[in-house]
Amino acid sequence: MSTRLQHELKKKQPFEVAEQAAALGLVRTNDQLQIHFSRLFRQFGLTPSQYNVLRILRGEGAPLPILEIADRTVTVVPGITGLIDRLEAAGLVKRARCDEDRRVVYVALTSKASKLLAKLDQPVVDLHKRLMGHLSRSELNELTRLLDKVRSGLPESEP
C-alpha cells in the first residue's frame, strides 16, 4: 500500500511533492479509519453519518433545526433530509415544527437514541485507542496541531 505511495511520490520531484504527499496521506489514512468505524457503527445498525448526527444532538443537549445539523456535519443541505428521514423511521429522532417560524423543523433525540449512544461510547473510545494507540502522546498532539493548522489556512468553502 505505502509502496505505491512512495512510488507515486518518486515520480514528482521535491517541489510540490511535500504538499501532495501530505494530502494523499491524509486521504488514505482517513479512508482506512473510516472502514473500521463504519464496521463498528454497522454492528449497532447505524451508518457513520447517522452516528454523527446523533452525537451532535447529544452534544447540544436540545433539539436543533435541520439546517443547523447540516451545517455541523459536512452534509450538504439536500442530503440531510433523507438522513433525518431514516433516523426518524428508525425511531431515533423526532421532527417538530417550530410554532414561531413555521418553516423551521426541529429535530430531537429519542430516549432510544440516548440509550444506543450510551452503549456505543465505550466501543468508540476503544476503537480510537486501537487505531491510534501506537502513536505516542506527543505524536498525537503534534498530529492534531498540524491538522488544525491545515484547516485554519483553508480557503473559504462557501462560494
Partner DNA sequence: CGATAATAGTTTATACGTAAACTAAGTGAG
Partner DNA sequence: CTCACTTAGTTTACGTATAAACTATTATCG
Residues within the interface to its own copies (CB under 8 A): 1-2, 4, 7-8, 11-12, 16, 18-23, 25-36, 59, 61, 72, 74, 125, 128-135, 137, 139-144, 146-155, 157
* Residue with Cβ nearer DNA (105 or 131): 105
Find out whether 8 and 23 touch, Cβ atoms under 8 Å: no
* Residue with Cβ nearer its own copies (38 or 88): 38
Minimum distance between the CB of residue 14 and DNA, rounded to whole angstroms?
30
Q: Which of the listed partners (DNA, its own copies, none) does 148 bind, with a CB threshold of 5 to 8 Å by partner kind?
A: its own copies
Angle at 76 between CA 75 and CA 79, to 5 degrees: 80
- DSSP, collapsed to helix, strand or coil, labels residue 65 as strand
Minimum distance between the CB of residue 92 and DNA, rounded to whole angstroms?
11
State the cell numbers at 110.
Answer: 429519542
* Residue with Cβ nearer its own copies (97 or 133): 133
**Alpha carbon distance 85, 63 (integer Å):** 16
State the DSSP string of 13-69: -TTTHHHHHHHHHHHHHHHHHHHHHHHHHHHTT--HHHHHHHHHHHHHTS-EEHHHH
Minimum distance between the CB of residue 70 and DNA, rounded to whole angstroms?
7
Q: Which of the listed partners (DNA, its own copies, none) does 104 bind, with a CB threshold of 5 to 8 Å by partner kind?
A: DNA
Find out whether 113 and 54 touch, Cβ atoms under 8 Å: yes
Residues making contact with DNA (CB under 7 A):
34-35, 38-39, 42, 47, 49-50, 65-68, 73-86, 95, 100-106
Minimum distance between the CB of residue 12 and DNA, rounded to whole angstroms?
24
Q: How many CB atoms lie within 10 A of CB 72?
A: 16
